[in-house]
Amino acid sequence: MIWYFLTLIILVLIAPLLLSFIKMFKMVLLFKKPISIFQGYRDFSKLMQKETIISHEASELTRYAPFLVLSPLLVVMLFLPPVIEGSFYVNFVDAFTITGLISLSTFFLMLLGLDSASSFGGMGSSREAFISALVEPAMVLTIFSVSMMADNLSVAQAGVNLAHHFPKEHMASFLFAGISFFILLLAENGRIPVDNPETHLELTMVHEAMILDITGVYLAIIETASSIKFVVFSSLFVSLFLPFGLEYSPVVALLIFIAKLFLVAILVALTEVNMAKLRLFKVPNLLGISIVFAFLSLITFYVLGA
Amino acid sequence: MFSFDTLSLVFIFLILLGAIPNIFYSSGYLSHVERKTHYQIHYFAFIFSMIGVVVSANALVFLFFWELMSLTSWQLILTNAEDKETIKAGRFYFFMTHFGFIFLLMFFIIVSNGNLELGFDAMKSIASGFEYPTMLFLFLSLGLLSKAGVVPLHVWLPYAHPSAPSPVSALMSGVMLKVAIYGMFRFLLDVLYPWPLEWGMLILTLGSISSLVGVLYALSEHDIKALLANHSIENIGIILIGFGMGMIFDTLGLETLSSFSFIAALFHSFNHMSFKSLLFMGAGSVLHQTGTKNIEKYGGLIKSMPVTALTFLLASISISALPPTNGFLSEWMIFQSMLGSSHIGDISLKMTIPFAVFSLAMTGGLAIACFVKAYGITFLGLHRSSNAKHAHEVNFLMKTGMIMMAVVIISLMLFTPFYIGLFDKVMVEFSRASVYHEIFPTVWSMHSVGTSGGVVSPLILLIALMVITALLMFAYRLSDKKIRFHNTWSCGYKTSGKTQYTATGFAGPIRRFFSWLYRPEEHLEKQTMAGQESKFDASSYEVHVTPLFEKSLYNSVAKLANVISYWVYRFAHFEKTRYSAMIFNLLLMVLFSYRLFVNGFSWGTFVLELVVMAMSIKILIIGDKK
């Protein structure tokens, strides 16, 4: 139980670090003077000290929505697969609940975008709605296929099963599902081929546009929510698609897990450096690839025999 | 004549849950209705007739109440009959509902051997002796599904529901569609049992298509009530996906999975009743206050109508199938039943199910987009017209109705085990496997019945969400931050109702991506200045989407009928001999078809009859070439 809570705390703490690390690594790759890896914490503490500015046009919803954006993601964190052999995990929550909770968070974020009566917010919400509607089927199919391979629909249990018995005979479907999930990770977290987290140009932004009118503590909460979303996705990716290293002693296992998270961050940074942001209407093609890979994964799994 | 078995009682419960809050709401709404007596008489007769349908035990009583239900709802649509659109909608509804009625009548005439007073329990033996069970199934499906609004028989819904007064649309969409689902349960589980695999596949396919088509057309709607009506098509599709999975599993002998899927379908019927009624009531309140159905004229209503806004938000979360609401729970069950397809042995069948999973997941994603649009444009931001500016909260009775319906939603969410227990009793009554104890080993968590299936625990989820949100807010309150109010930043311009995103703009990306389906008609008018394309002082953009089914299927049928009647007219006009020859040929055709039904089909006689028909048409009607 103690390792369970320790993992949770470490995941929450490491969340801003990962995003700053991606930014730093990208800057190193582009031969820019890199920002500090602790920039995420600095931003957070600065935002916490600022006063809250609420728009005249906004309603009561703006005061509650930031909390409702963050809390479903925190609930998801409780249900992640264990990173240490023998530590406690919630062994029953399945993938639909997790995708549902993530959608709940996105739902309130989109409403928040529409609440301030700014056309930026509407634009961001509209684009986010478009992208997340297409992400949903790919997500469900991918997780369906992974849970078939792990022989359990519960996500945490699937992670444990995969660590104990890796399905070597289904390597093809496993790879397809992995590629599909990585595309989803990029799309859901607003990384480059889908959305550019660093831009403030109205033509390109999605996530930033929705929160343009949010300041102070509320902005800190939303930023935390997006970093936690990244940690949730990358630790799901790590536990389901790189399921090794759990059996060592707790500290080593935890270190291996964190190393794997950074590996995902490096992968994301490399993708971002090597790709241009897609036009909004090309994004469905990318998500279509993800859907097709999810289908392929299921079909190869069925054809090769369950 | 009447029977009160568990299925009937469950559906009486559904009707009452839908109708009682609605009666409150309707009494509050009454001031908005001009022909009050006409409205009241038909309103209560409508509720009464729906209860009549679900308790009737023989075909005659069933058809009587079914027709009464159709006619009263038809009159209720025509409550506000000055409007031309309303009259058109009423006519369309009248036609569609009787189209279905004829098929139901044919079904009953066949399965009761012409004795319409025969009870339902005696029909099974007649039906199993009939030579063409698939024809019976098709008659029944056409009859019931035209009422339920399943693609391609859904076209009347987006016309009829917006034209009716809002309490009536809530009843029609929330409850009347479920009466058709009752018919599916009553006659498929009992009278037409057992089924071949194809029937289940047909229902599953229709369900998948309806769910996608419904939500896609909902996204392109500007009329809030038509948007909700399109969502009814979607949700009926989801119910049918559950029902179809149940039929498929039953054919394959997977009894527990089959019961689980049927229970999921029943549960989603209840959930759809609750949130769709509430959404229509909320839309009705907004319409009552602003006097327009056009979603582009709303905005900022959360400030003036907090109760409506809050209940509408609850219903929106629930219909978007977000946890921990009841809509999520039933959609979760349907997903789980589809994941149970890994137990199917036949690999080609197994590989088709992921396509249904895909369509249901896609529907879920698009429904979220649609309700962000419906809620955000209606209630958030600034008012977009003076109608919305002067809106204020509705009267006490209407508020009571909405709050009662919200309580129904919450009860479905909190007391899921109780409702599932009820549905399980229905399954037991039809001698299916009882799965209650497999779904709920304890009341805390809900299990799927497939091996290594998923688990969800609505209560724990709800508690976790509430506790964490409360803790976060408490921490924020403790920090006691200074709050300042300022205008929304809009690049140095003034924020006004006109600078906001519109509903058309919100659905823009999705409309553009699915333009192969929508085929939108766009009208763009610009008054350009000094001949420059990019500078203009006035412009208007409008986009209209005509449903593809209406355009291709219905209008082409109408065109075909026109062509046929033109030729009949050309042949028969002013020529008595030819006219009587046509009547003779028609009689011949009726006789031959009757023979087909009575004596069975055989190719020899069929060809012979065809030749006789062709000769008589050639000689008697067309005649010699001049």
Q: How confident is the model at residue B230 (pLDDT cuts 50, 70, 90)?
A: very high
- The model's confidence at residue B367, banded by pLDDT at 50, 70 and 90, is very high
Tell how far CA B618 is from the center of its chain. 47
Q: Is A44 on the interface with B (CB under 8 A)?
A: no
Structure-token pair, residue B586: 């028609």
Which residue did the predictor score with more confidence, B530 or B395? Answer: B395
Give me the number of domains chain B comprises: 3
Q: How confident is the model at residue B625 (pLDDT cuts 50, 70, 90)?
A: low
Q: Which two tokens stand for residue B81?
A: 């009959």
Nearest-CA distance B167 → chain A (Å):
27
Q: Which candidate, B409, B393, B275, B268, places its Cα nearest to that of B332?
A: B268
A158 within 8 A of A147, measured Cβ to Cβ = yes
Return the pLDDT at A306: 55
Of A53, A111, A147, the CB nearest to B486: A53
Give the end of a domain, one of B528, B544, B560: B544
Q: What is the mean pLDDT of residues A263-290?
A: 92
B365 touches chain A (CB under 8 A): yes
- Whether residue A34 lies within 8 A of chain B, CB to CB, comes out as no
| Of the candidates A284, A268, A286, the residue with the CA atom closest to the CA atom of residue A230 | A268
Domain check: are B514 and B446 in the same one?
A: no
Q: Tell me phi and psi for residue B532, to 5 degrees.
A: -100, 130
Integer Cα distance of A138 and A132 in angstroms: 10
Q: Which of residues 53-92 of B touch A (CB under 8 A)?
A: none
Quickly state the pLDDT bin for B590 (edges 50, 70, 90).
very high
Residues 448-477 of B with CB under 8 A from A: 448, 452-457, 461, 464-465, 468-469, 472-473, 476
Residues B415 and B526 in one domain: no
Note whether residue B264 is domain-resident. yes
Indicate the pTM of the whole model.
0.93
On the CB side of B402, CA atoms within 13 Å amount to 29
Instruction: Single out the residue in B519, B544, B569 at which a domain terminates.
Output: B544
Please indicate, yes or no, whether residues B416 and B518 belong to a single structural domain of this protein.
no
- What is the predicted pLDDT for the residue at B546? 82
Residues 88-147 of A with CB under 8 A from B: 92-97, 100-101, 103-104, 106-107, 110-111, 113-123, 125-127, 129-130, 132-137, 139-141, 144, 147
CA distance A65 to chain B (A): 10
Question: Using one digit for the tens of pLDDT, what is the confidence trace for B308-361?
Answer: 999 999 999 999 999 889 999 999 999 999 888 888 888 888 888 889 999 999
Within 8 A of A284 by CB-CB distance, chain B residues are 513
pLDDT per position as a tens digit, B374-407:
999 999 988 888 888 888 889 999 999 999 999 9
Cα separation, A115 vs A109, in Å, equals 10
**Residue B478 in domain:** no
Q: Which domain holds residue B516?
A: 508-544
Q: Where are the alpha helices (DSSP H) in B380-513?
A: 386-389, 396-414, 416-429, 436-439, 458-479, 503-506, 508-513
Nearest residue to A216 via CA among B476, B340, B38, B401: B476
**Alpha-carbon dihedral B140, B144, B145, B147, rounded to 10 degrees:** 150
Residue B365's closest chain A neighbor by CA? A133
**B540 pairs with which residues across the strands?**
B525
Check whether residue B52 and residue B121 sit in a common domain: yes
CB distance B368–A298 less than 8 Å?
no
Q: Domain check: are B581 and B455 in the same one?
A: no
| B517 in the same domain as B404 | no
In chain B, count of helices (H) and strands (E)? 28, 5
Domain boundaries defined on chain A? 2-303
Q: Are residues B421 and B564 in the same domain?
A: no
> Is B420 part of a structural domain of the chain?
yes
The per-residue pLDDT for range B171-193, each reduced to its tens digit, is 999 999 999 999 999 999 988 88
Sign (positive or negative) of CA dihedral B274, B275, B279, B280: negative
Interface check for A161 against chain B (CB to CB < 8 A): the answer is no
Please tell me whether residues B43 and B168 are part of one structural domain.
Answer: yes
Average pLDDT taken over every residue of chain A: 90
Within this chain, do residues B515 and B451 fall inside the same structural domain, yes or no? no
Q: What percent of chain B has pLDDT over 70?
A: 99
Return the exposure string of A99-117: e unless at least 16 CB atoms fall within 10 Å of the residue's CB, then b: bbbbbbbbbbbbbbbbbbb
| Domain-located, residue B84 | yes
Same structural domain, B520 and B602: no
**Is the same domain home to B424 and B527?**
no
Last residue of one domain, picked from the residues B498, B521, B544:
B544
Residue A76 scores a pLDDT above 80: yes
Regarding whether B259 and B207 lie in a shared domain, the answer is yes
Q: What is the DSSP string of B393-407?
A: PPPHHHHHHHHHHHH
If residue A162 lies in a helix (H) or strand (E), which one and from where to where? helix A155-164
Beta-carbon separation of A96 and B332 below 8 A = yes
Q: How far apart are CA B539 and CA B524, in angstroms?
A: 7
Q: Tell me: the pLDDT tens digits for A155-185?
A: 888 888 898 888 888 888 999 999 999 999 9
- pLDDT for B597 equals 76
Residue B622 confidence (pLDDT) above 90: no
Look up the ipTM and state it. 0.95
Q: What is the pLDDT of residue B31?
A: 87
Choice among B123-127, B222-226, B489-493 with the minimum mean pLDDT: B489-493
Give A-chain residues touching B469 at CB under 8 angstroms.
67-68, 71
Candidate from B452, B476, B513 with C-beta closest to A152: B452
Which residue out of B329, B363, B368 would a mutagenesis test of the A interface target, given it has the greatest number of A Cβ atoms within 10 Å? Answer: B368
